[in-house]
Every structure is written in structure tokens, then in C-alpha cells.
């Protein structure tokens, strides 16, 4: 069991009423992981949803034995493994603790069961996940636009650059 106060530290859960947080608190686990612990592995089933209370996790993929592509550094208050909310999801990146981490976890199977039992909980969690996804995509879009602005030679081959700009 997890404390409601810990759940309130997670951005994804910030708008969830206490009566729904109580449901999650009964089902979730608090885990501590050491530096270098691999929490998700490419091509393996994603069956755990992680909410990071403390630490940093890199979402990455090895291109060569000397080059890793870092997709994201997950910070305290953020979550990852949302694909565990969909049955049968496979990881497309590794998730590795960059420092000691404290995370709230819940199995994908159990959270899907909770969604079936409580549609209000499902609504709030999925709304939070959508908000988190939009924020990340807006950041990525701004990065692409900045790269194109700094490298005008790339712009000439793009015919629909206006579609990259986020709609407010």
C-alpha cells in the first residue's frame, strides 16, 4: 500500500480526487531501485506502470555498442510505462535508473481491472496520460522547429512545415 500523499506528488495524478487516489493507494506498491537497474527492456512485455517519486530514469535504445539514443530522462513526479495500460504492449526502449530511484508501481493487468470497475478512475488517469503526452509532443515539436530554424537548408525539402506547429 502507498500513501495518498505520495500519489499526489505524481503529475499525472494531480487532478484526481482523493476517493480515487485511495483506490490506487490500496493497489500500488512502493519500490526502491539502485543505479543501473533496468526497469523495462526492448522487445519485452510492458506489464508495469511506473510513477517516479525520486530519482531519474533514462528511456533509451542502443544504436551501437558505443552509441545510445536517449528518448527521455524521466524525472521525479513523472511516470512511464503507460503502454502497460494496454494489454500485450511491447517495449520499444529500455528504461534504466540513472541514480537511486523510488517509484510507485502498479501492474498493468490490475490497473486495467480497476478501469473496468471504476470508469471515473479510468477517465482521470487517461486524461492525465493525455496531458503528459501532449506536453512531451509540444516540447519535441519546438525542438524540431528550432533545429529547422538553425539549419535552413533542411527547410527547403519540407512542404507542410505549418503542420508541425502545435495548435493551442
For β-strands 48-54 and 79-80, DSSP reports them as antiparallel
Query: CA-CA distance, 37 to 35, in Å (whole number)?
Result: 6
Convert the pLDDT of each residue in 9-32 to its tens digit.
Answer: 999 998 899 999 999 999 999 999
Average confidence score pLDDT of the chain: 90
pLDDT score recorded for residue 164: 52
Residue 138, pLDDT above cutoff 90: no
Which pLDDT band holds residue 143 (cuts at 50, 70, 90)? confident
Q: How are beta strands 29-33 and 101-107 bridged, if at all?
A: antiparallel
Mean pLDDT of 1-8: 94
Average pLDDT over residues 110-118: 95
Q: Which residue has the cell 530514469?
A: 57
Dist. CA 61–CA 47, nearest whole Å: 19
- Can you list the domains of the chain with their CATH numbers? 4-154 (2.60.120.10)
Span 35-83, pLDDT tens digits: 999 999 999 999 999 999 999 999 999 888 888 889 899 999 999 999 9
DSSP-based three-state secondary structure for 66:
coil
Find where cell 517509484 sits.
103
Strands 68-75 and 101-107: unpaired
As given in the structure block, the three cell numbers for residue 162 are 505549418
The percentage of residues in the chain with a pLDDT greater than 90, rounded to a whole number, is 67
Amino acid at each position: 500500500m502507498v500513501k495518498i500523499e505520495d500519489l499526489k506528488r505524481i503529475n499525472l495524478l494531480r487532478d484526481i480526487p482523493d476517493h480515487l487516489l485511495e483506490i490506487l493507494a490500496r493497489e500500488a506498491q512502493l519500490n526502491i531501485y539502485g543505479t543501473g537497474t533496468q526497469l523495462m527492456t526492448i522487445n519485452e512485455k510492458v506489464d508495469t506502470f511506473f510513477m517516479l517519486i525520486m530519482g531519474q530514469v533514462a528511456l533509451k535504445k542502443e544504436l551501437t555498442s558505443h552509441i545510445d539514443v536517449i528518448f527521455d530522462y524521466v524525472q521525479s513526479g513523472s511516470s512511464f510505462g503507460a503502454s502497460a495500460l494496454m494489454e500485450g504492449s511491447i517495449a520499444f526502449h529500455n528504461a534504466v535508473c540513472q541514480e537511486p530511484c523510488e517509484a510507485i508501481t502498479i501492474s498493468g493487468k490490475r490497473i486495467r481491472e480497476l478501469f473496468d470497475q471504476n470508469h471515473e478512475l479510468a477517465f482521470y488517469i487517461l486524461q492525465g496520460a493525455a496531458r503528459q503526452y501532449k506536453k512531451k509532443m509540444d516540447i519535441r515539436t519546438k525542438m524540431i522547429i528550432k533545429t529547422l530554424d538553425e539549419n535552413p537548408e533542411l527547410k527547403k525539402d519540407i512542404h507542410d512545415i505549418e503542420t508541425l506547429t502545435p495548435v493551442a
